[in-house]
Structure 1
Amino acid sequence: MDFIKENIASLNDELRKKTPIDIARWAMSNAKNPVVTTNFRPYEASILHVCSRTLPDIPVIWCDSGYNTSNTYRHAEEVIDLLKLNIQLYVPKQTAAHRDVVLGIPDIDDPKHAVFTEQVKLEPFKRAMAEFKPDVWFTNLRQGQTSLRNSLDILSFSKDGVLKVSPFYYYADQGLDVYLEEHQLPNEFTYFDPTKVLENRECGLHIS
């Protein structure tokens, strides 16, 4: 990874000319323990397709908050079956029903919202990453989603040194629509993230 860190700017320049599948193949060739994370939000089928076609048994870490819509759960099952995904499911240590009684879903401005986010998203994610210890982490981050993500690129590093690879970083929704259609992949738009509420708010996973 030292070579990639030292040459990340030039590597990103080169990878911008490549297709998502070519980017995934390049990253896989430099990975010892890759993973891809998903929440089955809109357009997630694209990154899951690229990764599973490059490495069929790649661990697919799904951190399920427990607050997904029925449509999202049905979509997840469809994509898992279609792509034969090696799903590794991580859920909060407390059920959503129990949390609804003692905490509920706090408003973003409520100090309890940080506790809520830690419980339903960050803790399961940290647990997954600690158990898998990946050196390469595939994500579907894209330019234009949040101010933080606008500062990243196809390749970036997390604070703990994991290489994050975003093959569709420069794709707009229209480009992903074409990709999904070309590969006959389903999409889903009723996804709900209780930790974000606003679409342009960072989810928290990519800050650390």
Structure 2
Amino acid sequence: MIKEQLDIKHWNAELRGKSPEEIIEWALRLTEKRIVTTSFGKYSAVLLSTFYKKEKNIEVIWCDTGYNIPETYSHASQLIEKFRLNVYTYVPLQTKAFTEFTLGEPDLEQTDHKKFTEIVKLEPFRRAIETHQPEVWFTNIRIRQTELRNSKDILSYSKDGILKVSPFYYWTDEELDKYLEENNLSKNSTYYDPVKALEGRECGIHLQ
């Protein structure tokens, strides 16, 4: 297990001044069992583009809730084709129509929101983890996004002991916008997550 071998405090200090590409190169050497997760959200092109340069065949996990708007599916299709992504898509076990019939789309204050989150996001994610059994999980979480993410760092651990690597953790929105512009990459400005609903709230996956 990587958790037993890695001094995470030491390596967070070591990696703090490194570029995202250098962080990714370092983490790729740790194990062959690695994944990158994406929602094809606002800045998804930033992280995914780096793997086109560093590790084209990495397994990309997309938990598609079924509630994405057309712009997100268009954005996903473009990135999958552009970077030839090795995508594994996980969807809820029950259809969107049945979920809407039984639960609707509950808002944050409703008691059914927790059940809704479990059905459309958490169960598919756990299924993906059980299938792929990663030791390293690349994510695009960043400081200043949520209270939880403020408490993390470039390296952190999931509850299951998977090493989470966030190469762009300290980047600002302005820096990411500049990266998109300089690399001629698209931004999914209209991204909406029915589980998260509000910007600044966790969708649930990073609580795992």
Q: Secondary structure at the match of 2:46?
A: helix
> Post-superposition shift, 1:63?
0.4
Asked if the contact 1:36/1:51 (under 8 Å) is kept, the reply is no
Runs of 4+ residues deviating >6 angstroms: none
Alignment of structure 1 residues 16-95 onto 2, 5 Å? 16-95=16-95
**Total equivalences in the alignment:** 206
Alignment of structure 1 residues 99-110 onto 2, 5 Å? 99-110=99-110
> Post-superposition shift, 1:54?
1.4
> Post-superposition shift, 1:51?
2.4
> Equivalent residue for 1:195?
195
1:129 to 2:129 alignment: yes
TM (norm. structure 1) is 0.96
| Aligned amino acid, residue 203 of structure 1 | C
Question: How big is each residue's C-alpha offset from its partner over 1:129-154, in whole Å with a ceiling of 9 and x where there is no partner?
Answer: 00000000000000000000000000
| Distance (whole Å) between structure 2 residues aligned to residue 100 and residue 159 of structure 1 | 30
| Aligned amino acid, residue 107 of structure 1 | D
> Post-superposition shift, 1:182?
2.0
Asked if the contact 1:52/1:58 (under 8 Å) is kept, the reply is no
Q: Secondary structure at the match of 2:105?
A: coil
Q: Secondary structure at the match of 1:144?
A: coil
| Distance (whole Å) between structure 2 residues aligned to residue 183 and residue 15 of structure 1 | 24
Alignment of structure 1 residues 179-190 onto 2, 5 Å? 179-190=179-190
| Distance (whole Å) between structure 2 residues aligned to residue 51 and residue 129 of structure 1 | 20
TM (norm. structure 2) is 0.96
| Distance (whole Å) between structure 2 residues aligned to residue 16 and residue 83 of structure 1 | 27
CA RMSD of aligned residues (A): 0.9
Question: How big is each residue's C-alpha offset from its partner over 1:126-183, in whole Å with a ceiling of 9 and x where there is no partner?
Answer: 0000000000000000000000000000000111110000000000111111111222
Structure 2: gaps (5+ residues): none
Q: Secondary structure at the match of 2:167?
A: coil
Bigger Cα displacement from structure 2, 185-194 vs 45-54: 45-54
| Distance (whole Å) between structure 2 residues aligned to residue 164 and residue 54 of structure 1 | 18
> Post-superposition shift, 1:52?
3.1
> Post-superposition shift, 1:3?
2.6
Report sequence identity in percent.
Answer: 50
| Aligned amino acid, residue 206 of structure 2 | H
Q: Secondary structure at the match of 1:164?
A: strand
